[in-house]
Amino acid sequence: MSEAHSDQLLSEVAALPGLPGVYRYFDAQGQLLYVGKARNLKKRVSSYFQKNHDGTRIGHMVSRIARLETTVVRSEAEALLLENNLIKTLNPRFNILFRDDKSYPYLKITGTREAQRPLAGRVPSASTLFPRMAYYRGAVDKRHSYYGPYPSAWAVKESIQLLQKVFKLRTCEDTVFANRTRPCLLYQIKRCSGPCVDLIHQADYLNDVANAERFLRGETQQVLQMLEQRMLAHSEKLEFEQAAEIRNQMSALSRVLHQQSMEVGNDQDVDVLAVKVQGGRACVNLAMVRGGRHLGDRPYFPAHVEDASAIEEQLANTADAPEGAPSDVAERGSVDEAERTAVRVLEAFIAQHYLGAPMPPVLVTSHAVGKALLEALSEQTGQKVHAVHNPREHRRRWLEMAQKNAGIALMRLLSEEGSQQARTRALAEALQLPDDELEALRIECFDISHTAGESTQASCVVFEGHKLQNSQYRRYNIEGITPGDDYAAMRQVLTRRYGRIAEALKAESGDAALPAGTEVSLADEAEGEPNGLVRGPDESAIAEARSGSEMPAAGPRMPDIVLIDGGKGQVGVAREVFQALGLDLACIVGVEKGEGRRVGLEELVFADGRAKVYLGSDSAALMLIAQIRDEAHRFAITGMRAQRAKVRVGASQLEDIPGVGPKKRARLLQRFGGVRGVASASVEDLATVEGISDELADAIYRALH
């Protein structure tokens, strides 16, 4: 195997130190192939080049290695964390990879932390005097309390409804709260105690807030005891109405606890992780228990399972396996391949997921995980992390439910993927494309969006590997055209998207028309939504790995199909652009609305002179085209609306800020000469305006930035 590699690469391998660290393999184009960690870098990396891996997945990967990078660290635990930081950040081709860019939602109770601070001349806000609870997703504000994370928005809203029934906390915005003259419907249906119109004393309301927070922390018995003490105190004072109210509150809380059949035992915060592997795919189902309550679950599906598992399986059988094999995989020779794959998937999920998510002290897992991983996570979080395998009692019920849900989610995924592959095949047949490499079929779809010519944006969405690749989506701000001229907008976006690619390909292949599917290593100049960098224990190593001075920027390749949302006019514009750039016209396909613009009657229009094609309303190919086109339309509209909101830096933005009424808005505009002046003012400057408190000034600054 070493004969296929350069002397420089082999000499670098021979010079590696026998220290713990992380290694990265790149191919000739600078694409990252694999990230691994080792207790002994020299011993581990050498094993790739000293053995014959022909005919295997690891052989395929090793044959493509052209460059090696390493980072030496202090311990194997640090190497494990850095390895998974790099995997999550750089998306290597041959590693198990979990990607989930969604942030977790929280339940927020406002002002509770602010109330603990001395006022120091500040006027307390309604959020502090009468805290409200709300659904929240985003950056944390130290003035408020946050509970969670929750696996879904539905779980948060269910918890809010529960707290409304038992503790009757308000959910209304401060502006609504401050301007009520009579109680709202929530008071009438006994979901709020009516603090807006003084139907409850502030001290009693704050007691309810404190009890709600204890309940969210899992201190249910303490809450019941305190309520019982308050009820008896009212009874002794012959305050029977107040005692009856607390009795009803206790009854409601008892019913809730009885209905929550999963809430047994003394667990406060636990994550339950179950893995299912089938058909070359895997699912990790994460169930969350917070404050002793089972909040629901969420499935995760890793990429590159087969490639990564095959490589790690072969490496685990080498003589130096204990030096670098992930989490003692080599010591588990008694379990079959599927079980070993499940363990690898589970460990990859734990290592990657908890780099950016809060970690509970206890994990209940369907498979045993290695001690090295738990020690590394304990070192990172600063608390002892304990994993339980083969649990008992209530934890076993949690795990059995998670395993069942993992199986259901995986079966659904396999079914959907089979359907999506059938759609891709049907489209290839309809367009007479070769169907031997459908996995590599790439479609790029464009759409234009604006409001009466304002804030024109073009979107480009990418379909590849039988699915939409949202990390490759791009938006283009369209400028210098007549407002509302969709043809000019389409001409501009296609020229910007493919102009530099065409130049690079012409330089390589001459002046001939450039075929679809051709790759080019060239950075895309388009505006987009860049992937966030995952921060970890060694950020300099991650930045170095991302930017590598020798690694050329990887740009887009020419797609097999350029899908245009439009008929002859838009396709004609695309034809002109492609002819000017010397690109293949055969890849341009327009989607023309049918008679009466009815769904299912669309026809395909081609730029190379082929006759129109009507696929039929029940065609699988048309379903795929509609899916891609609708996604391009959605992506364009959301971008246009966001851009329009930025452009319209006007009074409408101030109107949307809670607490800023007509008088305060007028004072702000007068003081700073317009909304742009307000937007450029500091928090301190805003607070100098009459009627603008420090808290409101901070809220205005946040809203405008």
For residue 445, is pLDDT > 90? yes
| Contact between 632 and 565 (Cβ < 8 Å) | yes
For residue 448, is pLDDT > 80? yes
* Region 305-309 average pLDDT: 75
The burial class, CB within 10 Å (0-12 / 13-18 / 19+), for 119 is exposed
639/653 same-domain check:
no
For residue 403, is pLDDT > 90? yes
Q: Quick check: is 684 in a domain?
A: yes
pTM: 0.65
Q: Quick check: is 325 in a domain?
A: yes
Most confident of 25-39, 97-111, 662-676: 25-39
Residue ending a domain, choose from 234, 259, 284: 259
Q: What is the reported pLDDT for 471? A: 82
683/585 same-domain check:
no
For residue 513, is pLDDT > 60? no
501/623 same-domain check:
yes
379/522 same-domain check:
no
Q: What is the reported pLDDT for 457? A: 84
For residue 101, name the pLDDT band (cuts at 50, 70, 90). low
* Region 224-242 average pLDDT: 78
Q: Cα–Cα distance between 6 and 17 in angstroms, integer? A: 20
356/466 same-domain check:
no
- The CATH code of the domain that includes 598 is 3.30.420.340
Which value, in Å, is the radius of gyration of the alpha carbons in the chain?
30
Token pair belonging to 17: 């130190």
What are the tens digits of pLDDT across the range 26-42? 988 888 999 988 888 98
677/637 same-domain check:
no
Residue ending a domain, choose from 226, 259, 292: 259
The Cα angle at residue 565 between residues 562 and 566, in degrees rounded to 5? 115
Q: Quick check: is 393 in a domain?
A: yes
The region of weakest confidence among 85-89, 246-250, 409-413 is 246-250
517/639 same-domain check:
yes
Most confident of 24-38, 310-324, 412-426: 24-38
- Amino acid occupying residue 545: A
Of 461, 521, 513, 497, residue with least CA distance to 574: 497
52/178 same-domain check:
no
Question: What are the φ/ψ torsions at residue 390 (nearest 5 degrees)?
Answer: 55, 60
DSSP 8-state class, residue 436: T
Domain of residue 666, residue span: 649-704
221/125 same-domain check:
yes
Q: Quick check: is 236 in a domain?
A: yes
What's the number of domains the chain is made of?
Answer: 4
Q: Cα–Cα distance between 49 and 1 in angstroms, integer? A: 6
Q: Quick check: is 77 in a domain?
A: yes
For residue 380, is pLDDT > 60? yes
- The CATH code of the domain that includes 39 is 3.40.1440.10
* Region 360-367 average pLDDT: 91
237/322 same-domain check:
no
Q: What is the reported pLDDT for 89? A: 82
For residue 667, is pLDDT > 90? no
588/669 same-domain check:
no
The region of weakest confidence among 451-465, 499-513, 640-654 is 640-654
Q: Cα–Cα distance between 75 and 78 in angstroms, integer? A: 5
For residue 5, is pLDDT > 90? no
Three-state DSSP at 461 gives: strand
The region of weakest confidence among 40-49, 196-205, 588-597 is 588-597
Q: Cα–Cα distance between 135 and 509 in angstroms, integer? A: 56
168/295 same-domain check:
no
| Contact between 119 and 323 (Cβ < 8 Å) | no
Q: Give the per-residue SS3 of 192-228.
A: CCCHHHCCCCHHHHHHHHHHHHHHHCCCHHHHHHHHH
Residue ending a domain, choose from 605, 624, 645: 645
Q: What is the reported pLDDT for 152? A: 83
| Contact between 428 and 616 (Cβ < 8 Å) | no
The CA-atom distances, in angstroms, between 286 and each of 25, 270, 295, 354, 373 are: 31, 10, 11, 12, 18
The region of weakest confidence among 261-275, 289-303, 433-447 is 261-275
The region of weakest confidence among 251-255, 270-274, 407-411 is 251-255
How crowded is residue 696: how many other Cβ atoms within 10 Å of its Cβ?
A: 22
Chain mean pLDDT for the chain? 79
The burial class, CB within 10 Å (0-12 / 13-18 / 19+), for 129 is middle
What are the tens digits of pLDDT across the range 566-579? 888 889 999 999 99
* Region 191-205 average pLDDT: 90
- CA atoms within 13 A of residue 160's CA, in its CB half-sphere: 22
% of the chain at pLDDT higher than 90: 13
Q: Quick check: is 421 in a domain?
A: no
For residue 605, the cross-strand partners are: 590
Q: Quick check: is 565 in a domain?
A: yes
Q: Please list, in sequence order, all residues whose beta carbon lies within 8 angstroms of the beta carbon of residue 620, skipping any fewer than 6 positions away.
A: 422, 423, 426, 427
Q: Quick check: is 699 in a domain?
A: yes
For residue 350, is pLDDT > 70? yes
For residue 453, name the pLDDT band (cuts at 50, 70, 90). low
| Contact between 246 and 230 (Cβ < 8 Å) | yes
- The CATH code of the domain that includes 655 is 1.10.150.20
* Region 505-513 average pLDDT: 65
